[in-house]
Amino acid sequence: MGEFREKLVETKKAWARAGRLLTGKTAEHGVDRLPPGQRLVENWPVLDLGIQPDVPKADWQLVIDGAVENPVTWDWDAFLAQPQVEDVSDIHCVTQWSRYDNRWNGVSTRHIADIVKPLGGVKHVLFTSYDGYTTNVEYAHFLEEDCLVAHTHDGAPISREHGGPARLVIPRYYFWKSPKWVKRITFSLEDKPGFWEVRGYHNLGDPWLEQRYS
């Protein structure tokens, strides 16, 4: 890691140790639109680890593997050849901002599961990004109808700084669970905490339960 990235990581680890931004409140998902401790923004803040990979579409690949019957690797053309969906969802960042009504286009996670056919014992899905970032989600939440690998946001291609050419969108969790620059999706029989999860952040990350930190 470079110097800037190390300082950033140490700062956010300190937030976890101190419980920064915690309100101690909870809310009900599906009833309360804004989770506890969050504030609305209209812009889209840029957050990363100090690295913004430049991945040309000609070189981009998405590997989908693990405990599945039919592992696949898609290049950009194969990715766009899959059935495309549009979804509107809110996003909630652990750094306290939320943005409503984001319009995404891409390939649904349910379609991905249908293609690769996960084995019966799959409980988790693991993600790896082109910058080396990793994270994890429960398989059941990966399959929710508003989850997708997105290439378009609010009618425009997702920019490099926001994770383009393609990123995960899993609105149920804090947005660190929606990795930018996605490179690999691995279906797993066992959980494997990712980059922030092993550095003091919650393994699930439910905003309505304010699961910011472990």
Residues 157-177 have pLDDT tens digits of: 999 999 999 999 999 999 999
Give 143's strand partners. Answer: none
The first and second tokens of residue 26, run together, are: 């909870």
pLDDT of the residue at 2: 45
168 burial level (CB within 10 Å; 0-12, 13-18, 19+):
buried
Cα dihedral across residues 192, 198, 200, 205: positive or negative: negative
Mean pLDDT of 191-213: 97
50 burial level (CB within 10 Å; 0-12, 13-18, 19+):
middle
pLDDT of the residue at 8: 87
Mean pLDDT of 142-149: 97
Q: 3-state SS of the chain: helix, strand, coil percent to 5?
A: 20, 30, 50
In the chain, pLDDT over 70 holds for what percent of residues?
98
The number of beta carbons lying within 10 Å of the beta carbon of residue 181 is 26
CA atoms of 171 and 178, how far apart (whole Å)? 8
Kindly report, residue by residue over 87-132, the tens digit of the pLDDT.
Answer: 999 999 999 999 999 999 999 999 999 999 999 999 999 999 999 9
Mean pLDDT of 180-187: 98
Q: Which of 2-11, 56-65, 191-200 has the lowest mean pLDDT?
A: 2-11
All structural domains of the chain with their residue ranges: 3-209
pLDDT above 70 (res 1): no
CA atoms of 201 and 12, how far apart (whole Å)? 9
Q: Three-class SS of residue 179? A: coil
The first and second tokens of residue 150, run together, are: 């997105």
CA atoms of 144 and 142, how far apart (whole Å)? 6
Mean pLDDT of 9-23: 94
pTM summary value:
0.95
pLDDT of the residue at 93: 97
pLDDT above 60 (res 4): no
Q: Which of 9-13, 136-140, 149-153, 165-169 has the lowest mean pLDDT?
A: 9-13
CA distances from 170 to 11, 37, 88 (A): 25, 20, 12
> Taking the domain 3-209, which CATH number applies?
3.90.420.10
CA distances from 204 to 64, 143, 193 (A): 22, 15, 9
Average pLDDT value over all residues in the chain:
95
Tokens 């929710």, residue?
Answer: 144
